[in-house]
Structure 1
Amino acid sequence: MPEELIEVIKRIRPLDSVAMEAAQARLDSLTKPPGSLGKLETVAKQAAGITGEAMPDLSRKAVVVMAGDHGVCEEGVSAFPPEVTPQMVLNFLNGGAAVNVLARQAGADVVCVDVGVNAKLEHPKLVSRKIRYGTANIAREAAMSRAEATAAVRVGYEIVSEMVAKGTRVFATGEMGIGNTTPSAAILIALGGLSPEQAVGRGTGIDDARLRHKRGVIERALQANEVDQDDALDVLAKLGGLEIAGLVGVILGAAAHRALVVIDGFISSAAALVASRMAPLSVSYMIASHMSLEQGHHGMLEAIGLSPMIHMDMRLGEGTGAVLSFHFLDAASNIMREMATFESAGVTQG
């Protein structure tokens, strides 16, 4: 692994046990039966361990939407054409996508990053960090070089570093890239050990015939690229996408800076799976937002070791499920700060 990634990974430390014990003591003092708020309590304790504070301020939140194109779209694996990627990026930047709506509702920022869109994009709000104009066709060759994958990871890490310096403490993983369920499923097969039948789903809504074709394309990709399953960066470079690599950097960066990172759906979870294999300690900093309807997402989360907060039958991507779950983080934070204790309320403790 490149030295720069090793240095990032070295910064990721175990959760702060003292802060978690203080959070647990606070939770147990509140006017409720122990553990009765379920995952809200779990998240509150995890947030304490991540930040090192028993009652951290989680109000500064952002979704980082990484965008990149995929050469494998040449194989007809998506219901939408590749030109939708740059069109949707402009939609994000103009505030009109679903993730924008949900982010406004949650009081979160949307940061859109061009890390590999196959078009020249200009917009005052665009974060332009393009590594290359889309990946190569994984059915025939490696998606990108190891150096390019490393550079895309660096993009994610640097953006998180810049945002943490400005006060952001909670990140959501968002993405845009037509065809990106295909590399995500390939990553799941390579790192998670699932079969194509288990891992490959309908993405944007393809029919049965195209689903069979998509599985065949992924099988060809696995044959064309002899990946080292013990080297997550090799799997990412050969089978992944630039936006997936960028999200790996977001996840590792959040963990290195002791910030929470909320994982969205199938594609974001592919990045989380890669990050978990690069840096196992990073899993402690992840919160799984929801269970996507995309085939293989359950297996993806199991491979990482995550349990989702909500089941809403969503499969849009963009970071929508992660941003929606920001409200649960707010609820957990407010419980810790505003709920009365047995002592302050004069309630007899069981």
Structure 2
Amino acid sequence: MNKHSFKIEKPCKEIATQLQDKIDNLTKPKGSLGRLEEMAVQIGTIQQTLTPTITNPQNIIYGGDHGIAAEGISFSPPEITPQMVFNFIEGGAGINFFARQHGIGMKVVDSGINYDFEPMSELIDLKVRKGTRNYLHEAAMTEEEFNLCLERGASVIEMCHREGTNLVSFGEMGIGNTSSSSMWMACLTGIELEKCVGAGSGFDSEGVKRKYRILKAALDNYKGDGSDLDYIRYFGGYEMVMAVGGMLKAAELKMVILIDGFIMTNCILAASRICPEVLEYAIFTHQGDEAGHKMLLDFLGAKPLINFGLRLGEGSGALCAYPLIESAVRMINEMSSWQKASVTKYF
């Protein structure tokens, strides 16, 4: 399978020492701003500068439908996907108020929604197909579709880059994508599937058990070659693989990547199986309530910034945590040094 020619360089770590030295000489006790200091070093290292910046931040929402939804594995009906796309465009969704609050741009992408939209300037039409196939019986997508998703997902980030964006967050809309994420998690980490399956958009305990039984049957029916890329193709969603392509391109372009909840954490996991260096560019913003998310974060060695019990998706956790990222950048650029402020070190 074609991995594509993503050329992601691991950021040079030599500048990290200089960044830490600058932070240690700001007018505060050493280490007293905790995670903000860690983020400032990471962002400065990504950008290879002692004065990191955030320019034109954007949140990308990829939308797609899942064939497995026909098996009743989601609390929400499939028609919700196009309805929510209209809600994003009209500005009424949860992600919209976060974007307005923090001045973050939004792009909404039709990756593979089972709906015929009229042409709209607010919707980027990159539809591969009207929903994936039902992976209870066959692969969700072909190899050609998989590669097309990577390319098209990356093209959105190239568009952002041309617009001056150097920080991007990723969101999704797709009924059934927590199920696909659970499949990715189990296949790519080796964690038992039952521990990876949760309530999604609202199942009770009996609903979760039924969802697990269906997904376990799909895993038992798997007919691929057992490679990481084949698992991603076989059980993925078009919107998820486009997000993977977007993350890989963002890292190639040396952007800061904000990782949202359970689904996007699985997407960065999948991206790391194509190019491990992508993780150097990722900031994990929150731990959600979906079963398995904490285990997945622990598997990746990730320390989320917040734990607010969010399970909305759309990039909501990333944008909710965004002010912390902005604070880290402001800290390293706006605080005075001991020498400049003529303040005696008091520790």
What is the distance in 2 between the residues matched to 1:306 and 1:108?
24
What residue is the counterpart of 1:255 in the other structure? 251
| Greater displacement, 200-209 / 51-60 | 51-60
Mapping 1:98-113, distance limit 5 Å: 98-113=94-109
What pairs up with 1:179-258 in 2 under 5 angstroms? 179-229=176-226, 231-258=227-254
Q: Partner of 2:266 in structure 1?
A: 270
Q: Trace 1:61-80 onto structure 2 (pairs within 5 A).
A: 61-80=57-76
- The answer as to whether partners of 1:153 and 1:250 remain within 8 angstroms in 2 is yes
Q: 2:27·2:335 contact (CA, 8 Å) conserved in 1? A: yes
* Structure 1 consecutive aligned stretches of length 4 or more whose deviation exceeds 3 Å: 226-229
Question: Unpaired segments of 5 or more residues in structure 2?
Answer: none
Aligned-residue identity in percent: 37
Query: Aligned equivalents of 2:192 and 2:314: distance in 1?
Result: 26
Per mean C-alpha deviation after superposition, the further-off stretch among 195-204 and 255-264 is 195-204
Q: TM-score if structure 2 supplies the norm length? A: 0.97
2:23 partner amino acid: L
Q: Secondary structure in 2 aligned to 1:290?
A: coil
Output the amino acid matched with 1:137: N
3-state SS of 2:62 partner: strand
- How far apart are the structure 2 equivalents of 1:257 and 1:29? 31
Query: How many equivalent pairs are there?
Result: 345
2:55 and 2:164 in contact (8 A); partners too: no
Q: Cα offset for 1:121?
A: 1.4
**Partner SS for 2:265:** helix
Give 1:142's match in structure 2, choosing from 129, 133, 139: 139
Unmatched segments (≥5 aa) in structure 1: none
Matches within 5 A, 1:1-350: 1-2=1-2, 5-8=3-6, 11-122=7-118, 123-229=120-226, 231-349=227-345, 350=347
Matched letter for residue 173 of structure 2: M
AA at the equivalent of 1:206: F
Q: 1:331 Cα deviation (Å)?
A: 0.3
Higher mean alpha-carbon deviation, 292-301 vs 340-349, is at 340-349
User: Matches of 1:121 and 1:289 in 2, distance apart?
Assistant: 32
Taking the aligned partners of 1:68 and 1:337, their CA distance within structure 2 comes to: 40
Q: CA deviation at 1:226?
A: 3.7
CA distance in 1, matches of 2:286, 2:307: 5
Partner letter of residue 67 of structure 1? G
Alpha carbons 1:70, 1:134 under 8 Å: kept: yes
Residues 131-182 of structure 1, C-alpha deviations (whole Å, 9 max, x = no match):
1111111111111012111111111111111211220000101000011100
Choose 129-138 or 49-58, whichever is displaced more. Answer: 49-58
Paired with 1:20 and 1:159, the residues of 2 have a C-alpha distance of 30
Q: Supply the distance in 1 between the matched residues of 2:189 and 2:317 (Cα, whole angstroms).
A: 22
Moved more, 121-130 or 15-24: 15-24
Tell me, what secondary structure is at the counterpart of 1:173?
Answer: strand
Shift of 1:227: 4.4
